[in-house]
Amino acid sequence: MKRVIVAGLVLVGSVLAAPVNAVELDLSGCSIPVLPTMPDGSKATQEEMVAASGAIKAYLAENDKTLKCMESARAALGEATLSEEQSANYTTLYNGVVDAAHKVGEGWNTAVRAFKAQ
């Protein structure tokens, strides 16, 4: 799997910027982690699988921090409401971060199954 940086948080200034007299959701303190490199389980060594496991655990921990950061930024607005567009963009970005974690988990499970089948 290629390393990819999801550039969704760049949306803070453009897509999530509020129109006049509306609130602005600031996600600039939230960073999306780089996807870990997934080993080819059918060819990987034990050492490569252990190293990948550590990288994946670190990625998932950072991903959780990103989600908590996003949730905190949204909660900091209190009763203020986002525009419909802002809310949709926030939800899309949040779901993208969650989906990326699920894909990493699925990729890891596939790699582990292939490794065990060696």
- Tens-digit pLDDT profile for residues 61-100: 999 999 999 999 999 887 777 888 888 999 999 999 999 9
Q: CB of 104 within 8 A of CB of 111? A: no
- Tens-digit pLDDT profile for residues 7-25: 444 344 334 444 444 578 8
Q: Name the DSSP class of 100.
A: H
Each domain of the chain, given as residue ranges in start order, spans 8-116
Q: CB of 8 within 8 A of CB of 96? A: yes
What's this model's pTM, rounded to 2 decimal places?
0.77
